[in-house]
Structure 1
Amino acid sequence: MITKKTKVIFTVIGLLLTMVVGFRAAAINKDKQFVSVATASTGGTYYPIGVGMANIWSTHLKEEGIRASGQSSAGSIENIDLLRKGEAQLAILQGLIATDAYTGVRNFEENRYKDLRTISMLWPNVEHFVLMNNKINTGTIEDIEGNRFSVGPQASGTEQSTVVMMQGLDLTKKDIRPEYLGYDDTISAMRDGRLDGGSLPAGIPTSAITDMYASGVKASVLEVTDEQLNTINQESNSWYRFTIPAGTYPKVDKDIQTIAQPNLLAVSKQLDEKTVYLLTKTLYENLDEMYAVHSSAKNMTLETALDGISVPLHIGAYKYFTEAGVDVPEELIPPEAK
C-alpha cells in the first residue's frame, strides 16, 4: 500500500527529474541558433527551395550551432509580416512584394518596412496563368476575363502580383469571378469543374502545373504578348520576358511565351551580421546540393545573385559578396555599411 508520504516523495522526485531534464535541454540548446525560412503553399516552388536551403544550413553549420527549418505560409505578403514579428528569420519573397514593402506602396502604403534587407536573388518567378481549354479564345492572359479564376490565397504575393498584372490589362477582380486558392487546390478545383483557371507563379517546373498536364486536366498555360508585358510594367516595372522551354511539362511540345519576376531571399536587418554571412557563404559554397533540390535552383550562381534586386543587401550578405568578388551596385549597399 502506497502511503501519502510515499506519494509526496515520488512527486518530489518526479519534479526534480523534470527540472534536471529541462536544465540539460537548456544547456544543450544554449549555444544553438534556430532560424526559420518562410515560404508559401506546398504545391509551389517556394516550399521545396526553402526546405532545401534549411537542410543545407543545418548540415553544414552544425558545428556553428545553427539549426534551420522551412515553414509553409500564404506567401510573400504574409512572409513580410512573419519577418516583422520575428516568427520567421528569413523569407522568400516575390521581387514585387519586396519592393513594395521597402518603398511603402500598395499594401504597404501605411506600413513601410524599412528594416527589410536582401540576401540574394534565388530564381525567376515564372507566371503561369492557366485556363481550361474550352475558355481559351486568344491564348493569352486576357482570356481570364469573365471566368472563375483563382488569384491565389488571400494576402499572398500571388494575389498581389496577379492583381497588378490584371491592372496592366485594364482588368480588376470585378471582371472575373475570383477565388482564393493555393496551387494544388486550384488544379483540383479545375479538375472537378468548379474553377476555370488560376494564377500559379513559380519556378519551372511547377509541380501543380506538371500534375495538371499529367493528369489530363483539359487546360493550358496562357501566353503573354510583348504589348501585354509593356502595359503590365507600366503598373510596376518588375517583369521581364521568359520562355518556358518545350518539354518542361508533360505533353507540351512547344515553347510557352510568358513573363517572370525575381524571387528573393530576404531577412530583417536585425538578424546579426555573422549569422547572415555564414548563411550566404554556405549557400553559395554548396550550390551543387541546391541544384539537386529543385531544377529552379539551377538559376542560382554568383553571376546572377543580384539580378533584379531592388532592396539593399543585409550587411552580412554584402560582406560575403564583396569577399567573393561580386560587384555590388551602389543602391544595394546596405545603409549600415555606408
Structure 2
Amino acid sequence: MIARRSLLLAGAGALAAPAVVRAQQGRSYILATATIGGTYYPVGVALATLTKVRLQASKGIDMSAISSAGSGENIRLLRENQAQFAILQGLFGLYGRDGSGPVQSDGPQRNLRSICGVWGNTEHVVLRNSFVRTGTFEDLLNMRGRRFSMSARNSGTEFSNRFIFANSGINPDQTFELVYLGFGPTAEALIAGQIDGANPGGGIPVAAVTQIFARAGDQFSILEFTDEQAKKADGGTGLYTARIIPANTYPNVAKDIRTITQPNFLACNAAVPENDVYEITKAIFENLPFLNSIHAATREMKLETALDGMVNPVHPGAARYYTEKGIAIPERLRAA
C-alpha cells in the first residue's frame, strides 16, 4: 500500500501544472470502486488522483475514491447521491438500466449515465480436455452432471456466467453440479481434478488462468466462441463484444482464442453538471500514459473504443468531448 501511494504521488508530481488561480466555487465528488484488494480500487484511485491534479486548481473539480462492496452497492450509492461517480461492471449497468437482476426491487435507475469503458472482463471458459470436442462454447454440454465453478456466490462473475448461459439456452443449475469458489481456489480445484470446468472471467491476463496453464496446461483448453455463439451469449443487448486473447498470453496456449468481453466502465449520476463531466472525460483521454503507469488494466483504454459495450446513456458532458474528437454517439446511447 505504501508503494502504491508513493507511485500515485510520483505520478501526480509528473502531471503537476503551473499554479493557477483556484476556481471560486469548487465541486468535490466521490468515486465508488470496490474492495481494496481488487482492480476497481487502484484504478479508481488513479482516476481520482488524475482529476485532482489536473482539474482542482484550474477548474475547481475535486474527486476522492472510496472502497465499496462493488457494482451492486455502487448503483445504490449513485442513486442516493452518496457517490457521484462509480466503476461498474457492464452487466450491472444493464441491470440498472432495465431494473432487472439484483436491482429489480429498486426499478430502472433513471439517473445512471456512462462515461467510458476502462477495461474489459473477458470470458475465459476453461474446460478439461476430456470434454472438449469442437473447442467452442457448445462443449460445455459435454459435461452434464459434472462439477463447474461459478466463482464466489453472488459475485459479478456468477452473474455474468448466469447471463451468458441463459442467453445460450443453458440452465447451469440443471446442467452441472455447481460449486462456488473464488478464482484462486477454482484454479487449485481444477488442477487437483475436483472440478472439470470454470469461467474465471476478468482482465487479460487472469492470474488464476495463468496458474492453471502453467501447472497443467496439457489437461485444459480455453473454449472459443463462434460468431453465432457470441451473438447468442450477448442476448441482443450490445453488452458483449468480440475479443481475441492473443497467442502465448497463457503458458502452453500457443494460438489466438476468440472469445467475448464486457466492459468495466466509469459511470456517473445524471445530475453531475455537463461541463464537469466534459472536463473529467477530457482529462482522462489526454493523460492516458499517467493512468497506464498506475495500473495495467487502463492500458486497454482507447478513445476509439471508449463506447464499446456501453448500454447506458452517455452523459452529455462525455458526449460533447467525443463529438469534438469525431467519435459518433450511437442513437441508443443518447440521453433523453
Structure 1 SS opposite 2:304: coil
Identify the match of residue 88 of structure 2 among 87, 93, 113: 93
Distance 1:240 1:274, change over 3 A: closer
2:194 equivalent to 1:199: no
Distance 1:187 1:87, change over 3 A: farther
Aligned to 1:146: 145
Number of aligned pairs? 304
CA–CA distance in structure 1, aligned partners of residues 83 and 126 of structure 2: 31
For the 8 Å contact 1:37–1:54, the answer to whether it is kept is: no
For the 8 Å contact 1:151–1:199, the answer to whether it is kept is: yes
For the 8 Å contact 1:52–1:290, the answer to whether it is kept is: yes
For the 8 Å contact 1:147–1:196, the answer to whether it is kept is: yes
Shift, 1:323, TM fit: 4.2
For the 8 Å contact 2:90–2:239, the answer to whether it is kept is: yes
For the 8 Å contact 2:33–2:44, the answer to whether it is kept is: yes
Aligned to 1:317: 318
CA–CA distance in structure 1, aligned partners of residues 118 and 251 of structure 2: 25
CA–CA distance in structure 2, aligned partners of residues 330 and 38 of structure 1: 29
TM-score (norm 2): 0.75
Letter in 2 for 1:57: T
Shift, 1:288, TM fit: 1.4
Aligned to 1:102: 97
Per-residue CA deviation, residues 262-318 of structure 1 (Å, 9 max, x unaligned), is 332111223344543332222111011223344543332222222332311223323
For the 8 Å contact 1:38–1:82, the answer to whether it is kept is: no
Identify the match of residue 68 of structure 1 among 60, 64, 73: 64
Shift, 1:117, TM fit: 0.5
Shift, 1:139, TM fit: 3.4
Structure 2 SS opposite 1:320: helix
Aligned to 1:250: 251
Shift, 1:47, TM fit: 4.7
Structure 2 SS opposite 1:303: helix
Letter in 1 for 2:110: K
Aligned to 2:22: none
Aligned to 2:126: 130
Shift, 1:113, TM fit: 0.8
2:221 equivalent to 1:226: no
Identify the match of residue 113 of structure 1 among 109, 121, 124: 109
Aligned to 1:171: 170
Identify the match of residue 52 of structure 1 among 46, 65, 85: 46
CA–CA distance in structure 1, aligned partners of residues 94 and 118 of structure 2: 16
Letter in 2 for 1:53: L
Alignment gaps of 5+ in structure 2: 1-24
For the 8 Å contact 1:41–1:183, the answer to whether it is kept is: no
CA–CA distance in structure 2, aligned partners of residues 68 and 242 of structure 1: 32
Shift, 1:109, TM fit: 4.2
Shift, 1:244, TM fit: 0.8
Letter in 2 for 1:253: A
Shift, 1:137, TM fit: 5.0
Shift, 1:189, TM fit: 4.2
TM-score (norm 1): 0.75
User: How does 1:266-285 map onto structure 2 within 5 Å?
Assistant: 266-285=267-286
* Aligned Cα root-mean-square deviation (Å): 3.2
CA–CA distance in structure 1, aligned partners of residues 188 and 245 of structure 2: 23
CA–CA distance in structure 2, aligned partners of residues 147 and 36 of structure 1: 41
Distance 1:239 1:318, change over 3 A: closer
CA–CA distance in structure 1, aligned partners of residues 238 and 44 of structure 2: 26
Aligned to 1:159: 158
Q: Which has the larger radius of gyration?
A: 1
Identity %: 38
Letter in 1 for 2:289: D
CA–CA distance in structure 2, aligned partners of residues 293 and 281 of structure 1: 18
Distance 1:84 1:150, change over 3 A: farther
